Amino acid sequence: MDLPAPTADTTAPGTPPPLGEHLRSPRLRAAMLVQQEALQAARDHLRGEGFTELLPPLVGPVTDPGGRGAKALDVDYYGHPYKLMTSAILYKQASLRGFPRLFYIAPNVRVEPEETATTGRHLVEFHQIDVEIAGASREDAQEIAAGLLTHVTEHVWTTVPDVLTGLGRVEADFADVRAGKYDTRTHQEAVARLLSLGHPQNPDGEIDWAGERILSLESDRPFFVDDYPKGSRGFYDREDPERPGVLRNFDLIAPHGFGELVSGSEREADYATLVTRMRESGENPAKYAWYLKEAREGIPASAGFGMGLQRLVRFLTGLDALWQVSAYPKLPGVIAP
Amino acid sequence: MTAALTAPGFPEEAVRARARHGTAAVFPDPAAYGSHLFGPTPAPAGGDALDRMRIVPPVFMPRRLEKLIDLAREPEFGDVDLTTRAGGFTARLPLYLSAFGSTRAGSGDLAVHASRQAARLGIPMVIGENMVPVHGYRRSGDATRSALLARVEAYLEAAPDGVGGIVVQQSTEDADSEVWNLLYSDPSFRPLLESGRLAFELKTGQGAKPGLGGMTVVGRAEAEQLARRFTVREVFGETAPHRLRCATPGTFTEEILRQQLRFMRNNFPKARTWVKFHPGRDIGHAARTAWAAGADAVTVDGAEGGTGWAPGVFLDHVGLPLAETLRRVGRPDGCLLATGGVWEGGRAVRALALGATAVGLGRAALVAVDEDPEHGLERLVDALALELRLLVSALGAYTPGALTPEDLWSPDQDTAPDPWPATTARCPS
């Protein structure tokens, strides 16, 4: 197998050249050809599954509090402190009564901590294929996510195989994805695996960047990680009523070191639980007035996910770093046009 | 001498004397040596249950024997090693600079001077809540630096390598401004993160007004600016030039605390996690919950604590005093930090003997810096450190971590601390 080896987390996978030079590079041109096919395939697939595409909001009084040290950008909105969307999750939930199956191709901005500049998997500006399904379970959302990845992969290998092979990709490496073969493990199992490999992983938190890469490298097919602990994810990920402290959520990790492509969950929709969970994640419920009003009036139960578009394209093209698949890359901590 | 601050009810004159004279103030006037007879002051003024406890050296000192064997000579007070691991940091002394909050006294030049001196002393510094929503962070495009950044810069310029650290609080209102995210993603904080010297402190309450949020007095113009983020009340009268700015205290349950701490550890893996409690009646339960959730330090603030702005009824009637707060925590499961009226070695040693790993200086530090902005805090701390060495060695111990409640005697039966076996491992590094 001749995959272009993704660079280790400890060394930066290079930095972008000046923007003009980057925009003229054949490598970016190839990546953008793959991206436009991926977008086309994603839209076709989701519309075929009965989804409606909406365009997401750009700013709001609150955004996804998300986490992992990233900050939302502040915007002065007629004198009110607004945020640029880190994700439109709250708006997805609020849209469900009118649009029970919806998706966005959503631009997001997260001022990531500098420490993520060297993961090859973080950009400050990025896009998500952001999906929400009323009345769905986690397993339903996983099925849609897996189907989406399989369809997009199939489509790009059908429409632009020369571009992919030109970038050094080998078609056989995608056999499992195209056949829809995915593994599943729990967060607890992932932690145990990392600890057994001598990687110090906090059992109460996210799988850290280095740990995620280790797990991704030792796998040949994509796999779901289920059941993250409360305290590692946002208040909208639903807690398992049968297992307090465990969330009904998941990540989808790409193999061969490419790492997380998707985060998703069943959503919390109960008003009182949402307020309590906001406090548990250190949030001030007063900020979320509009969203909590919707929740009081009744948000449908749902499940959904966001698939990172640039991460998807990086996985398809096999390029080392996310900046190589973004036309206008902004790396964490780097001031760029 | 600037002497703009007053601190009634606090031994201000004694603190100012130490800020001027340093270790000389630990002793009686040397000119009186040989001509005066000395004895204890009849009744120390303003003392609480902690101050009423006496420090009681034993006659037989197996701990001193251990030190004698170690040194192959008789130990002396200079052999006391005050270096302490506190809240994930290395401190040269079992001390730290407490948060001053966003009060006028705590957020001006004095706080910057205090920061610089704390850095030179090699002790950690806590920066109070509400600094960003009140004072702002950094205005884009000009050189205006916020109060918070001014303190961080002063500290970093003077801090020796490998010791000390900066702790930044966040309250409910700060969460609106995402203070921790802001700092964690700010490249200028990278040196602190990389050297493991940044901590975030979840503030759940404070000693001066348990159960209430922060309160400060603001002018009318400032009040209008802040009105969108804080409740501003006209308690001083409609025509008065001042308004009362109130922050909310935030709601905590056992699960909310546990999850917030986990969230902090998850989101800011390179920062240490501290939590500060007001002296609540369930403080023991709260502290144990925090340690179990992975807090690197638990700070308890006795009802004597705080830079002071609170309704009179709270100052006089509300909250457990520090001695009872420490008694209810008992033998700590982790690193315990204590504040509340500390300015000299006796009270510090009592708090350390009752389980604290380090003690905070709040009002005392501000008064000392007010007395001498260049070196007042350093002199105050020199005097305190000398007293610590004298007292700790007199107890036959040579590190503060070796002290136990047995080293104290309380005349108040019901506040007598429960003894526990000696240990030096309560604050893991």
Which domains are present in chain B? Answer: 12-22+53-214+249-415 (3.20.20.70)
Confidence check: pLDDT of B143 > 70: no
B79 φ, ψ (degrees, to nearest 5)? -85, -5
Closest partner residue to A71 among B176, B182, B251, by Cβ? B182
Contact list, A80 vs chain B (CB under 8 Å): 228
Q: Which residues contact B104 (CB under 8 A, 6 or more apart)?
A: B216, B217
Per-residue pLDDT band at B292 (split at 50, 70, 90): very high
> Is residue A96 included in any domain, yes or no?
yes
Amino acid at A286: A
Higher pLDDT, A287 or B116: B116
Closest to B250 in 3D by CA, of B285, B213, B295, B214: B213
The verdict on B2 touching A (C-beta cutoff 8 Å) is: no
Stretches in chain A below the pLDDT threshold 70? 1-13, 67
CA distance B164 to B379: 18
- Written as six digits, the tokens of B403 are 């002290």
Q: Is B267 on the interface with A (CB under 8 A)?
A: yes
The reported pLDDT for the residue numbered B311 is: 85
Compute the nearest-CA separation of B262 from chain A (Å). 5
Contacts of B293 in chain A (CB under 8 A): 204
Predicted pLDDT of residue B9: 65
Question: Mean pLDDT lowest for which of A32-36, B203-207, B331-335, B406-410?
Answer: B203-207
Which residues of B are less than 8 Å from A282 in CB distance? Answer: 170, 175, 202, 260, 263-264
pLDDT at A17: 92
- Taking the C-alpha atoms of residue B415 and residue B413, their distance in angstroms, rounded to an integer, is 6
CATH number, domain at A124?
3.30.930.10
**Angle at the Cα of B197 (from B193 to B202), degrees rounded to 5?**
90
Beta-strand relationship, B358-361 and B95-97: parallel
Q: What is the pLDDT of residue B207?
A: 81
pLDDT band at B305 (very low <50, low <70, confident <90, very high): low
Q: What is the pLDDT of residues B195-230, one digit of tens each?
A: 999 999 999 888 888 888 888 788 888 777 777 777
In this predicted model, what pLDDT tens digit does every residue of A16-30 receive, in sequence order?
A: 999 999 999 999 999
The average pLDDT across B68-76 equals: 95
Residue B97, pLDDT above cutoff 60:
yes
Any domain includes A44: yes
Task: Select from B138, B169, B186, B259 the residue whose CB has the most chain A CBs within 10 Å, as the one to mutate to test that interface.
Answer: B259
pLDDT at B250: 87
Cβ-proximal residues to B189 (8 Å cutoff; 6+ apart), any chain: B152, B183, B198
Nearest-neighbour CA in chain B from A171: distance (Å): 37
Asked if A115 reaches chain B (Cβ–Cβ under 8 Å), the answer is: yes
Which of residues B344 and B100 earns the better pLDDT score? B344
Taking an 8 Å cut-off on Cβ atoms, the answer to whether B172 and A287 are in contact is no
Among the partner-chain residues A111, A112, A284, the one whose CB lies closest to the CB of B176 is A284
- CB crowding B60-98: b at 16 or more within 10 Å, else e: ebebbeebeeeeeeebeeebbebebbbbbbbbbbbbbbb
CA-CA-CA-CA torsion sign (B144, B147, B152, B157):
positive
| Percent of residues in chain A assigned helix, strand, coil, to nearest 5 | 40, 20, 40
Structural domain that includes position A187: 19-325
Q: Looking at the partner chain, which of A68, A72, A230 has a beta carbon nearest the beta carbon of B178? A: A72
Q: Which residues 216-235 in chain B show a CB within 8 A of chain A?
A: 228
Residue with tokens 């030096």: B424
- d(CA A70, CA A284) in angstroms, rounded, equals 17
The whole-model pTM stands at: 0.85
Does residue A67 sit at the B interface (CB-CB below 8 Å)? yes
Q: What is the per-residue pLDDT for B134? A: 55
CA distance B300 to chain A (A): 20
Beta strands at A249-254 and A259-266: parallel, antiparallel or unpaired: antiparallel
Which of A69, A81, A229 minimises the CB distance to B185? A69
Closest Cβ–Cβ partner in A112, A114, A284 for B175:
A284
Q: Is B130 on the interface with A (CB under 8 A)?
A: no
The answer to whether B251 faces chain A, any CB pair under 8 Å, is yes
Looking at the partner chain, which of A204, A281, A287 has a beta carbon nearest the beta carbon of B265?
Answer: A204
Per-residue model confidence (pLDDT) at position A54: 98
Chain A residue numbers with beta carbons less than 8 Å from the beta carbon of B176 are 81, 284, 287
B258 and A69: CB-CB below 8 Å? no
* Higher pLDDT pick, B183 / B118: B118
The mean pLDDT of B336-348, rounded to a whole number, is 94
The C-alpha atoms of residue A11 and residue A331 are separated, in whole angstroms, by: 14
pLDDT at A132: 98
Restricting to B residues 160-179, those with a Cβ less than 8 Å away from any Cβ of A are 170, 172-173, 175-176, 178
Residue B306 confidence class, pLDDT cut points 50, 70, 90: low
Provide the pLDDT for residue A236.
95
Is position A335 within any domain? no
Task: Give the model's confidence band at B142: pLDDT under 50 very low, under 70 low, under 90 confident, else very high.
Answer: very low
Residue A233 tokens read as: 């994810």
Rank A8-12, B293-297, B362-366 by mean pLDDT and report only the highest.
Answer: B293-297
Contact A113 B184 (CB under 8 A): yes
Give domain status of residue A36, yes or no: yes
Structural domain contains residue A11: no
Question: Which of the four pLDDT bands, split at 50, 70 and 90, describes residue B132?
Answer: low
- Is the pLDDT at B46 greater than 70? The verdict is no
| Residue B271: pLDDT over 90 | yes
Tell me which chain A residue has its CA closest to the CA of residue B292: A204
Q: Which one of B171, B185, B296 makes the best mutation probe of the A interface by having the most chain A beta carbons within 10 Å?
A: B185
Looking at the 3D structure of chain A, how many domains does it have? 1
The predicted pLDDT at position B42 comes to 57
Query: A111 near A72, Cβ under 8 Å?
Result: yes
pLDDT of residue B428: 57
Question: What does pLDDT average to over chain B?
Answer: 86
B195 touches chain A (CB under 8 A): no
**How big is chain B, counted in residues?**
429
Nearest to B294 among A81, A204, A230 (CB): A204
Token pair of A97 as six digits: 């009564």
A232 shares contact with chain B (CB less than 8 Å): yes
Pairing mode of beta strands B272-277, B297-301: parallel
Calpha distance B63→B57 (Å, rounded): 12
CB distance A205–B182 less than 8 Å? no
**DSSP secondary structure letters along B166-192:** EEEEE-HHHHHHTHHHHHHT-GGGHHH
